[in-house]
Amino acid sequence: MRHILYFTAEWCNPCKRVRPIAEDLNRDGVVKIQFIDADDNGELCRKFEIKTIPTFILIEDGQELRRINGAKTKEQLEDFING
């Protein structure tokens, strides 16, 4: 099953802009999104080599398929999800 790891932080302005879009996609069942606060999850950030936020990582069967960084529109996120 596909899901997204969404690395974010409370102080991050681009993250604040894209969060409502990610919440809509999650709520609408487009994809399951796990919201991860980068400040509280340093080990996970290191594991996935997070260098910038926001970062979206698409995971399927435990494997990273692809990732994107930065604030994105709903259409850009849907394209990312659908490949």
For the question of residue 15 being annotated catalytic, the response is: yes
Give the distance between the most distant pair of CA atoms in the chain.
Answer: 31
In the predicted structure, residue 53 carries a pLDDT above the cut 90: yes
Residue 53 token pair: 């936020």
For the question of residue 45 being annotated catalytic, the response is: no
Residue 26 token pair: 């999650």
In the predicted structure, residue 10 carries a pLDDT above the cut 90: yes
**What's residue 83's pLDDT?**
86
Percent of the chain past pLDDT 90, that is, above it, reads: 90
Distances, alpha carbon 35 to alpha carbons 8, 29, 57, in Å? 7, 15, 11
Kindly name the residue from 4, 15, 18, 53 that is annotated as catalytic: 15
Kindly name the residue from 5, 12, 38, 58 that is annotated as catalytic: 12
**What's residue 64's pLDDT?**
96
pTM, rounded to two decimals: 0.93
Domains of the chain: 2-82 (3.40.30.10)
Each residue of 32-52: pLDDT tens digit? 999 999 999 999 999 999 999
Residue 60 token pair: 């399927």
